[in-house]
Structure 1
Amino acid sequence: MTACLPASAPEPVFLHPWHAQVFALTVSLNEAGRFSWPTWVAQFSQVLARHGLDKDLDGGDDYFTAWLETLEMILAKDGAAPAPDVERLRGDWERAYLETPHGDVVRLAASQNT
């Protein structure tokens, strides 16, 4: 008996690694009790509607950018990730990325992440 192989590889579930990472982080935080799914759904729905993304979603960057915004909002509300701290860290990573030669690992300097 020979196995039938698919004619092509299946489509990836996530278009980019960061989509999978923010999704997994959200699930993990929910499982740890940081927020309930009803809370998540309510906040995510508001973010999607505010950005006009509540129709014709394709699971792309706009969808996961809204996902990340929702997660940041929830974590800021409970004090786990205050917005100013998130913005500072985002800026630190952006500077590190822009200053890192192509192909090298991006790292934050010790003074940046304290």
Structure 2
Amino acid sequence: MSGSDPRTAHLTQRDSEPAFAEPWHAQASAMASLLVASGVISAAHWSETLGAKLREVQLAGQSDDSETYYRAVLSALEGLLDQAHAISGNELIQRRQAWERAYLRTPHGQPVVLGGNV
């Protein structure tokens, strides 16, 4: 891996490709890991829920790629947070809308930043 950044070397696969195709993929994985580590959800419940979401994707005939996988991760996270009463369905809708507004007002190539009003 010549020329690679040693600070992020652990985030690459064996073929030197990034382990995450998109920043939000890494963020979703980090959120799941944090929720398990903090005890909000159990590792077993996370594994079962993600597995069920991936089976749904497979049964629906969707492609087996990183985008589909991380959409399943996101769906599993949202479901578990709702079950744990960590966020309500209404709060989730508001958060999605806030991110969409932030995305739409962000110039191309710039990072999307969520404002103070969620």
Correspondence for 1:16:
22
2:42 matches 1:36: yes
Matches of 2:115 and 2:44, distance apart in 1 = 39
2:66 matches 1:84: no
Matches of 2:115 and 2:16, distance apart in 1 = 40
Count of aligned pairs: 106
Paired AA for residue 75 in structure 2:
E
Gaps of at least 5 residues in structure 2 are 4-14
Matches of 1:50 and 1:33, distance apart in 2 = 26
Gaps of at least 5 residues in structure 1 are none
Aligned CA distance change for structure 1 residues 17 and 103 (closer, same or farther; 3 Å): closer
**Aligned residues with identical type, % of pairs:** 34
Aligned CA distance change for structure 1 residues 106 and 12 (closer, same or farther; 3 Å): closer
Root mean square deviation of aligned Cα: 2.8
Q: CA deviation at 1:84?
A: 1.7
Question: Which deviates further from its counterpart, 45-54 or 92-101?
Answer: 45-54
Larger Rg: 1
Question: Which runs of at least 4 in structure 1 moved beyond 4 Å after TM superposition?
Answer: 53-56
TM-score (norm 2): 0.74
TM-score (norm 1): 0.76
